[in-house]
A and B are shown apart, each in its own frame.
Chain A
Amino acid sequence: MNMNLTLLGQAISFAIFVWFCLKYVWPPIIAALEAREAQIADGLASAEQGKHELENAEKRVKEILSDGKEKAQDLVSQAQKRADEIHERAKNEAVDEKVKIIASASAEIEQERNQALDGLRKQVGSLALQGAEQILMREIDEKSHRDVLNKLAGAL
């Protein structure tokens, strides 16, 4: 328990060790610690950002997909509509054509019938005239009765 110069020796060595620690030990270690802390913080932040970006990209992909689907749906329905239209028009045209053909055919038929009727009428007239002629040959003078006969043929 004697106090002696050891006291001063201790104080001096203490001061030297503290100075050494302050100068050569503390700063590099703290610098490394702080740099690592900053690195970890950066890493975490960029991971967070990456996650965020991934989420955004996924959202965009979904949007694009649904957009595409919608467009495809649109295209299909448009095509359907267009096909329906074309179909309808073709049908209408066909119906028109049919009506036209029928009309022209019936007109032709009518005409032919009229012609046939005309011919028949004329033939019936002349046949009737011939028949009448032959019947009347002996009784009627052809000349005098021609007008009557012609009138008759016209009325037929």
Chain B
Amino acid sequence: MSGASPAEYISHHIQNLTYGEYQDGTWGFAHTAQEAAQMGFVAINVDTMFWSLFTGILFCYLFRVAAANASIGKPSKWQLCVELVVEMVWGSVKDAFTGKNAIIAPLSLTIFVWIFLMNLMDLVPVDFIPYATQLAGLSHMKMVPTTDVNATFGMSLSIFALMIYYGIKMKGIGGFAAELAFHPFGKAFLPVNLILESVSMIAKPLSLSLRLFGNMFAGELVFVLIAALVPFYLQFILAVPWAIFHILVITLQAYIFMMLTIVYLGQAHEVHH
């Protein structure tokens, strides 16, 4: 980005393309972080939505291709690759989830592959697509949906809802409330229990989304920093090792998100006596 100072370059790269209502009542894309903040809740990060839908649809398409042509005797290479992932997910679910629920395994597969693909956008050089979209007139473009808290919270809150739903479904409202109120110290300490259990319950989706967001945001920021501060002909010295290391991070973060989802939903299914 010629002409911009490193600070401007960096803050430009960590801002989403937000569409919402300006303070004067007209609608459009926010040009600055301040404008985006003023738009409030009724606004949408177009880049996050686009890339998350893109990766999600890519996941559905790629896996549907393998599933639709699934052959028992002569699997294609792609089918074997998909089976590898499916078996990994299935093994994790079998190990960590003791209840009976047909949704858990496909849910885990979706989480793992979708988050992996969204994280994978991090490996696309930071300026390739943003520069192209800027030429097309869009002021900002963040390609990695998981560096947007909205995306990670969108998933973790959905899982939180599932946790509450299955908690109530499996234990009944009374059982669910009793778990909140009578653990871990018994009936005499009801307020303490309530506070402790509520905090630990709310901490679950919070840690789930912030862990993913933090890791991916930090990773993206390092790429942006390298691009902002290092001359272009030397960037590869730092960017390549970081990218290779980042391959581990994006896989690991996808795996951790999936694994914790399984564990949390497993806890929601467990009936205490």
| Among A4, A9, A26, A33: residue with most chain B CB under 10 A | A4
Q: Are B52 and A21 in contact (CB under 8 A)?
A: no
Cβ of A30 within 8 Å of any chain B Cβ, yes or no, is yes
Q: Which of A3, A5, A10 has the most CB of B within 10 A?
A: A10
Chain B residues contacting A31 (CB-CB under 8 Å) are: 70
Interface size class of A (residues with CB under 8 A): 20 to 34
Question: Which residue of A is nearest B107, CB measured?
Answer: A18
Contacts of A4 in B (CB 8 A): 18, 20, 39-45, 150
B105–A26 touching, CB < 8 Å: yes
Contact at B70–A9, with CB atoms within 8 Å?
A: no
Please indicate which of the listed interface residues B42, B72, B105, B114 has the most CB atoms of chain A within 10 Å of its own CB: B72
A29-B70 CB under 8 A given contacts A2-B37, A13-B52, A22-B107 = yes
- Name the contact of B75 in the complex, choosing from A6, A16, A27, A32 (C-beta under 8 A): A32
Question: Is the pair B72, A13 in contact by a Cβ cutoff of 8 Å?
Answer: no
Q: Interface majority SS on A: helix, strand, loop or mixed? A: helix
Is B67 within 8 A of A24, CB to CB? yes
Tell me, yes or no, whether B110 is within 8 Å of chain A by CB. Answer: yes
- Contacting residues, chain B, for A15 (C-beta < 8 A): 158
* Given A4-B150, A14-B154, A28 and B106 contact (CB-CB distance below 8 Å): no
Which A residue's beta carbon lies closest to that of B213?
A1
Number of A-B contacts (CB under 8 A): 138
Q: Are A13 and B56 in contact (CB under 8 A)?
A: yes
Contact with B along A33-54 (1 / 0, CB 8 A): 1011001000000000000000
Q: Would A30 and B157 count as touching, CB distance under 8 A?
A: no
Residues on A with C-beta less than 8 A from B148 are 6
Q: Closest residue of chain A to B49, judged by CB?
A: A9
**Is residue B193 within 8 Å, beta carbon to beta carbon, of the partner chain?**
no
Residues on the A chain within 8 Å of B59, using CB: 17, 21
Which B residues lie at the A interface, using CB under 8 A? 16, 18, 20, 36-37, 39-45, 48-49, 52-53, 56, 59-60, 63-64, 66-68, 70-73, 75, 79, 82-83, 86-87, 90, 102-103, 105-107, 109-110, 114, 145, 148-151, 153-155, 157-158
User: 17 additional contacts, CB 8 Å, given A3-B149, A14-B155, A35-B72?
Assistant: A1-B149, A3-B150, A3-B153, A6-B48, A10-B49, A13-B56, A14-B56, A18-B103, A18-B110, A21-B60, A22-B106, A24-B60, A25-B64, A26-B105, A29-B86, A32-B75, A33-B86
